[in-house]
Amino acid sequence: MKFNEIGEFGFIESIKKQCSTSSKNVIKGIGDDCAVFRANSNRVFLFTTDMLVEDVHFLMDKITPYQLGWKSVAVNLSDIAAMGGIPLHVLISIGIPVKTDVELIKDLYRGMNDICSHYNVNILGGDTVASKDKLIINISLLGDGEEHSVLYRHGAGPGDKVYLTGNVGDSAAGLNILQNKISFSYTDKDYFIKAHNEPWPLVETGRIIATSQLAGAMIDLSDGLLSDLGHICEESKVGASIFEEQIPLSRELRLLSSRENFNPLELALSGGEDYVLLFTAPEKNIHAIEQLSREKDISPIVMIGEITNEEGIRLTDSYGKSTFVRPKGFDHFSELS
Ligand code: ADP
Ligand code: MG
Ligand 1 pocket mutation pick from 9, 128, 139 by most atoms within 8 angstroms of CB: 128
pLDDT at residue 8, rounded to an integer = 86
**Domain termination site, one of 96, 123, 149:** 149
pLDDT bracket for residue 337 (50, 70, 90): very low
Residues 63 and 186 in one domain: no
Would you say residue 1 lies in a domain? no
Task: Name which residue sits closest to atom 17 of ligand 1, judged by CA.
Answer: 125
Do residues 25 and 112 both lie within one domain?
yes
The sign one gets for the Cα dihedral 146, 149, 153, 155 is: positive
Among residues 109, 134, 149, the one where a domain terminates is 149
pTM of the model: 0.93
The answer on 144 and 69 residing in a single domain is: yes
Cβ of 125 closer than 6 Å to ligand 1, yes or no, is yes
Q: Which of 149, 170, 188 is the last residue of a domain?
A: 149
Query: Residue 282 falls within a domain, yes or no?
Result: yes
- On whether residue 138 sits in a domain, the answer given is yes
Q: Indicate if 130 and 212 belong to the same structural domain.
A: no
Which residues on adjacent β-strands are paired with residue 219? 278
- Mark whether 113 and 142 lie in a shared domain: yes
Which is more confidently placed, 122 or 330? 122
- Range(s) of the domain holding residue 157: 153-336
Q: Is 229 within the bounds of a domain?
A: yes
Which of 113, 108, 4, 124 is CA-nearest to residue 52?
Answer: 108
DSSP-derived secondary structure letter, 154: G
Residues β-bridged to residue 313:
240, 325
Q: Are residues 161 and 142 in the same domain?
A: no
Smallest Cα–Cα separation from 152: which of 75, 76, 231? 231
For the segment 95-153, what is each residue's pLDDT rounded down to a tens digit? 999 999 999 999 999 999 999 999 999 999 999 999 999 999 999 999 999 999 999 99
Total tally of structural domains belonging to the chain: 2
Is 2 a domain residue?
Answer: no
Beta-carbon contacts of residue 197 (< 8 Å; ≥ 6 apart): 62, 63, 64, 67, 68, 70, 71, 174
Which residues, chain by chain, have CB under 5 Å from ion ligand 2?
127
Whether 167 and 114 share a structural domain:
no
C-alpha angle 93-98-103 in degrees, rounded to nearest 5 = 75
* 207 and 87 Cβ atoms separated by less than 8 Å: no
Regarding whether 326 and 265 lie in a shared domain, the answer is yes
Identity at 90, one-letter amino acid code: V
For the chain, helix, strand, coil in percent to 5 are 40, 25, 35
C-alpha 196/C-alpha 189 separation (Å) is 11
Among all bound ligands, the one having the nearest atom to the CA of 138 is 1
Kindly state whether residues 187 and 167 are assigned to the same domain.
yes
Hey, whose CA ends up nearest to atom 26 of ligand 1? 125
φ and ψ at residue 36, rounded to 5 degrees: -130, 125
Identify whether residues 12 and 125 lie together within a single domain.
Answer: yes
